[in-house]
C-alpha cells in the first residue's frame, strides 16, 4: 500500500502547466512539513517535499494556494528515474496528490476580515481524540 498524508506550508507559489493533446492541468509546488522533533539546539527541522496535482484539482490549487498557504495532501509517493547528461541514473521523489485540503486561505478568496484564516490541524486531531470517551459497555465489540 502506497499512501501518504502530509500537512505543511507551501514554500513557493504553485506553477501550473497544461500537458498533452487534451491540455490536462498539472500544478507543482513544494510543501514544508515539520518533523516531530527538535535537534539538540532546540531547532525544528522540516522536510521539503515536491507535490504534483493533476486535472481540475490542479487548477483549483493554482487559483487558491500561494506561498505560505497551509494544506493537507493525501496521495502516493512516486519515484522517477532518469539519466543526466553524463548518462548516470538519477532519481526524483515526489508525492502525486489525490486530495488537497486547504487549511488556510489568502489568494483570490474573500473573507469577512480580508485576512488569512488558519486552522490548527493539531487541535482538530486532539478534539477528535477527546470526543471518543466511551464506556466499555458501549463498545460494539
Reply yes or no on whether the pLDDT at 114 is more than 50: no
Statement: residue 101 has pLDDT above 70: yes
For the chain, which residues make up each domain, given as ranges?
A: 4-132
Q: Where are the alpha helices (DSSP H) in the chain?
A: 56-64, 121-130
pLDDT tens per residue across span 26-73: 999 999 999 887 778 878 889 999 999 999 999 999 999 999 999 999
Q: Is the domain defined by 4-132 classed in CATH 2.40.50.140?
A: yes
Phi, psi of 98 (to 5 degrees): -95, -30
Compare 18 and 120 and report the one with higher pLDDT.
18
For residue 14, what pLDDT is reported? 97
Pick left, alpha or beta for residue 108 (phi over 0 → left; psi -120 to 50 → alpha; otherwise beta). Answer: left
Task: Specify whether the CB–CB gap between 31 and 65 falls below 8 A.
Answer: no
What is the C-alpha separation between 1 and 118, in angstroms, rounded? Answer: 32
For residue 62, the 8-state DSSP code is: H
- The model carries a pTM of 0.70
Amino acid at each position: 500500500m502506497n499512501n501518504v498524508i502530509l500537512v505543511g506550508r507551501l514554500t513557493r507559489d504553485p506553477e501550473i502547466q497544461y500537458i498533452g493533446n487534451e491540455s490536462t492541468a498539472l500544478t507543482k509546488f513544494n510543501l514544508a512539513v515539520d518533523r516531530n522533533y527538535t535537534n539538540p539546539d532546540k531547532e525544528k527541522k522540516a522536510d521539503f517535499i515536491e507535490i504534483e496535482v493533476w486535472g481540475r484539482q490542479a487548477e483549483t490549487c493554482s487559483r487558491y494556494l500561494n506561498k505560505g498557504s497551509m494544506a493537507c495532501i493525501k496521495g502516493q509517493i512516486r519515484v522517477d528515474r532518469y539519466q543526466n547528461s553524463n548518462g548516470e541514473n538519477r532519481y526524483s521523489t515526489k508525492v502525486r496528490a489525490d486530495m488537497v485540503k486547504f487549511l488556510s486561505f489568502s489568494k483570490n478568496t474573500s473573507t469577512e476580515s480580508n485576512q488569512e484564516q488558519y486552522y490548527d490541524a493539531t487541535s482538530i486531531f486532539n478534539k477528535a481524540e477527546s470526543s471518543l470517551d466511551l464506556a466499555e459497555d458501549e463498545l460494539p465489540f
